[in-house]
Amino acid sequence: MSEQLGPYRLLSRLGSGGFGEVHLALDQEGRTVAVKILHPHVAADGAALTRLAREVETMRRVRGPHVAEVLDASLDVERPYLVTRYVQGRPLSAVPVPVADLRLLARGLAEALSAMHEAGVIHRDLKPANVMMADGEPVVIDFGIACALDSLSVTASGAVIGTPGYLAPEVLEGRDAGVEADVFSFGATLAYAATGRQPYGKGPASAVAYRVVHHEPDLEGVPEWLAPLLRECLAQDPAARPTAARLCKELGAAAAPRGRRSPSAGTSQPSSAGTSQPHSAGTAQPHSAGRSQPFSGSTAQPFSGKARPPFSGTAQPPGFVPGRPADLEPVTRADPHAEPTREWQPGGRRTPEVERARHREKIRRRWLIGAGLFVSLLAAAAQDGLPQVSLFLLSAFTLGSLADAGVALFSRSPFKNRRMAADLGAIAGTGVLWWGMSTFFSPFTLTLFAVTALVVGVVFLMSA
C-alpha cells in the first residue's frame, strides 16, 4: 500500500545510500518524482540539517538536462526529505563497461559539472553510482548533498562522505576542497567508464586512498583522444586541473551560461533573504534574474526548510526534464544571455487515481493474455480425446471475456475502450491459437506443454 509523505505519495523503494532512502513517488499532479528520505542518524544532526536547508536554494538553481534537479524539500519535519526529478535508468556502475559511446558520456558529465559549478554547487561525491544512464545520456544525481552534510556527527554515525578512488587527494587529506575536487572525480569516473577498471585499483578503502594520494592512476586502455585530458583531471595539484568550462570546450559540450561566480573552497556563508550561499561555495551568486523561483511562478523567496506547494499544471518547475526528448520544449527566461531551460509539457492531467487505474489495467491485460494462452493450449490438447472439454473451455473463456467487456462498457474507467478491445482481441487470439495448435501438434505434445505450463504457472504464483 502506498504511503503519504507530505504532498507526495510514495510508490516504491528505489534504493538506499549513505544519506537516505530513495523512493519513487507521485506529486499531487500525478507526476513521478524521486523522494530521498534522510536516514534517522542524519536527520538527528541539527547542524547538518541547518546547513542543508541553507544550501537547498543554491542546489535548486542547478538546471540542465544532465542533472537531476532539486524540486522541493522539507527538512524541519519528523522525516526530512528532498525531492528531485526522477531519472529512469541504471547507474553507470551497473551498466556494461567500457561504455560504447564514451564521447556522449564525457560531454554530458562536463555539462553537468559546468551547470553545478556556475550555480555555486560542489558535488564532492561524483562517482559511477551517482551517474544515471537514461537512454545513453548521463544524468548526475545527489549533487551538493555530501558537501552540505559533511559534519563530524553525520560522518561518525556511519555515512561516508565520498568514495575512495573517486575522492580528490585534498579531500582525503582533509584540506580545503573546491570545484577542482569535482574535476578529479570527473576524471576518475570517465577512466572507469573507458576501461571498466577502477583507476586506483580495488581493495580496502585505506589502501585505495593511499594510492590516490601517492600513486599515478591506471589509464591503460583509455582512448588517445581522452587520455591526456583525464591525466590533467587526475593531477595531484588542484591548480593543475582544468575547469569545467575548459572540459566543455575540449569535449565540444555546451558550457553553462556565465554570470555566476564559481564556488570556492573553505568558506561558509549563511543565507540572507532572497539569496543563498553554498557552504563550500563561498561567494557564489546566481546570474541576473536567476534567483530560485517557487513552482507557482511567484516572486523569489528564501528557502524556509518547509515543503512548498507542488508545481501546478500551468507552471512547471524550471528545467524539469522527463525521460523522452519529445516532451521537452524551450522556456523563455528573463536573462537574454542565458541558455534556455526546458520544462515538461504533459498531454493531460495524470492524477494518482488515473495512475492506479492504468496500473490495474496493465495487470489485468497480462492476466487476460496468460489465461487465453493456457486455455487455447488445454483446449487443443483435449480436442481429439475430449472434444466436449475442449468446447467447454473455449466457451467459458469467451463468455468470461464478453462479460468483462460488458462491465467495461458501462464503467467510468478512462481505459474502458482499451479494456473492451483487449477482451475481444483475446477471444479472437485464443480461437486462432487453438486452431493452429490442434492442427500442427499432436495431443501428446500438447498435453506435455499444458502440464509444463501449469507447473510453471503454479511456481510463479507461489513465488509472487
β 131-134/81-85 pair status: unpaired
DSSP E strands, 246-357: 328-330, 342-344
Annotated binding residue at 36?
Answer: yes
CA–CA separation, 127 vs 166, rounded Å?
6
Please indicate whether residue 142 is annotated as part of the active site.
Answer: no
Q: Compute the C-alpha angle 307/308/310, nearest 5°.
A: 115
Asked if 232 contacts 224 with a C-beta cutoff of 8 angstroms, the reply is: no
CB atoms closer than 10 angstroms to residue 449? 16
CA–CA separation, 47 vs 327, rounded Å?
40
**Candidate list 125, 142, 182, 423, residue with the active-site label:** 125
Supply 263's cell numbers. 564556488
β-strand partners of 134: 137
DSSP symbol at 263: P
CA–CA separation, 253 vs 159, rounded Å?
34
Asked if 262 contacts 283 with a C-beta cutoff of 8 angstroms, the reply is: no
CA–CA separation, 22 vs 37, rounded Å?
6
Asked if 21 contacts 127 with a C-beta cutoff of 8 angstroms, the reply is: no
Supply 41's cell numbers. 542518524
The phi and psi torsions of 386 (rounded to 5 degrees) equal -130, 70
CA–CA separation, 57 vs 273, rounded Å?
11
Q: Show binding-site residues for ATP.
A: 36
The residues carrying an active-site annotation are 125
Q: Show binding-site residues.
A: 36
